[in-house]
């Protein structure tokens, strides 16, 4: 499948020219993010909670506490909306109205499936390796008790939409042509994600080297 299936739920109506319909772009945006915001409705009250996630082929994986209200709702079959947004820059137009932000955003709709047994362990490895590549084999593996306290869910990417805003501002002709408009600086300010130098906690013995996978890792 090379194109995202369109439906009444996923069709982008506001600024449809910013929509992307290819699966490659959908995967690229998800692979570049770290945090997803998961929204459900509980007794008429919408709740949105940030979670770590990973993509496994055409499936989104999330995990959290098995005692979590959000995860209990998802496990019960509550419809969900999962959003991943990457902030790429601030767009400064000559008018405040035309100013905006550059972003890449994915929305995924559907119901989650709980993973158990080896499927859950495999999913947790995918999530770990997405967040910090190389960490799964370096850290202690989860125990049976820890797995019991964890709920891992999968959500198909079949019902998804992608929207991307990029480039410079789109000012009105009158602002571009007027003397007042020509005196205003306009453009965009890129925003980049950067990893800092790892800081060991107090229990790491002095002289312990930073693992290569962490020292050389770049996002």
Q: What is the pTM (predicted TM-score) of this model?
A: 0.92
- 144-200 confidence digits (pLDDT tens): 999 999 999 999 999 999 999 999 999 999 999 999 999 999 999 999 998 999 999
Whether residue 1 has pLDDT greater than 70: no
Domain annotation covers residue 49: yes
For residue 42, the surrounding DSSP H or E stretch is: strand 35-42
- 101-141 confidence digits (pLDDT tens): 999 999 999 999 999 999 999 999 999 999 999 999 999 99
* Mean pLDDT estimate for the chain: 95
Q: What is the CATH number of the domain that holds 58?
A: 2.30.110.10
Number of domains within the chain: 1
Q: Report in angstroms the alpha-carbon separations of 14 from 19, 37, 84, 188, 209.
A: 9, 21, 18, 22, 51
pLDDT of 176 reads 96
Domain annotation covers residue 181: no
Domain annotation covers residue 45: yes
Domain annotation covers residue 10: no
Task: Provide the residue range defining the domain that includes 200.
Answer: 16-172+186-215
Domain annotation covers residue 6: no
């Amino acid at each position: 499948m090379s194109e995202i299936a369109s439906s009444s739920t996923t069709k982008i109506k506001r600024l449809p020219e910013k929509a992307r319909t290819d699966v490659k772009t959908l995967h690229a945006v998800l692979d570049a993010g770290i945090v997803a915001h998961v929204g459900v409705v509980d007794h008429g009250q919408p709740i949105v909670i940030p979670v770590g996630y990973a993509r496994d082929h055409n499936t989104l994986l999330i995990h959290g506490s098995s005692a979590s209200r959000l995860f209990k709702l998802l496990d019960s079959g509550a419809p969900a909306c999962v959003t991943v947004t990457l902030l790429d820059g601030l767009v400064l137009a000559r008018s405040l109205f035309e100013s905006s932000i550059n972003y890449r955003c994915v929305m995924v709709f559907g119901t989650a499936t709980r993973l158990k047994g080896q499927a859950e362990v495999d999913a947790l490895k995918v999530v770990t390796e997405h967040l910090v590549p190389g960490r799964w084999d370096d850290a202690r593996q989860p125990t049976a008790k820890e797995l019991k306290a964890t709920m891992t869910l999968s959500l198909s990417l079949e019902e998804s939409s992608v929207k991307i805003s990029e480039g410079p501002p789109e000012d009105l002709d009158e602002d571009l042509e007027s003397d007042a408009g020509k005196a205003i600086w306009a453009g965009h300010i890129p925003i980049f994600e950067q990893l800092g130098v790892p800081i060991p906690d107090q229990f790491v013995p002095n002289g312990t080297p930073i693992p290569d996978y962490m020292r050389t890792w770049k996002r």
